[in-house]
Amino acid sequence: MINEVCKDTTDRMVKSIDTLKLTFSKLRANRAHAGLLDHIMVSYYGADTPLNQVANISVQDSRTLSVSPWEKQMVPAIEKAIMISDLGLNPVTSGAVIRIPLPPLTEERRRDMVRIVKQEAEAARVAIRNIRRDSNHTIKELVKEKEISEDDQRHAEEIIQKITDKYINEVEQLLVIKERDLMEV
């Protein structure tokens, strides 16, 4: 019983870390990467479709992304979707290829991004603590139902706290790495 609760706790905390990594990957530093455009949706025959499902996204150089739509008539829709995204990018179209130059980040924009990264890290910490709370509640329910003893409860809560500490530390490490990455000129 306790092992199942601990495994569930670990699985849920790993998902929180994965979500944080995904969020961090969307925030760009100085380098272009294809994942930057992952969340952009394009109107494709009336349905919103992720950009990477209607075009090939590649890195041309460290400051330029290249988007090659699979259908030529998709160029204006993709261009519009990129412009209205929250990334502040201005695509340049040349025939069937869309080039997206990434402007250099200003010091002010870097600080804004660090603030956003810190908020995301705090949200991940809160999610992990909520998972801990839910797991401890499950353990307390098992004691009430007399499925485990109070000694087992204390032991389980210690294990859950160690798991929580491990993933909170991982959030801290990811935050430090991303902050360093963003502030690098």
Which pTM value belongs to this model? Answer: 0.70
- Domain holding 47, by residue range, is 34-101
89-139 residue pLDDT tens: 788 888 889 998 887 777 887 887 888 889 999 999 999 999 999 999 999
- In this structure, the answer to whether residues 8 and 54 fall within a common structural domain is no
154-165 residue pLDDT tens: 999 999 999 999
- Answer for the pair 96, 69: CB distance below 8 angstroms, yes or no: yes
- Which CATH number does the domain housing residue 83 bear? 3.30.1360.40
Among the three residues 101, 134, 154, which one is the final residue of a domain in this structure? 101
What whole-number distance in Å separates Cα of residue 180 and Cα of residue 159?
32
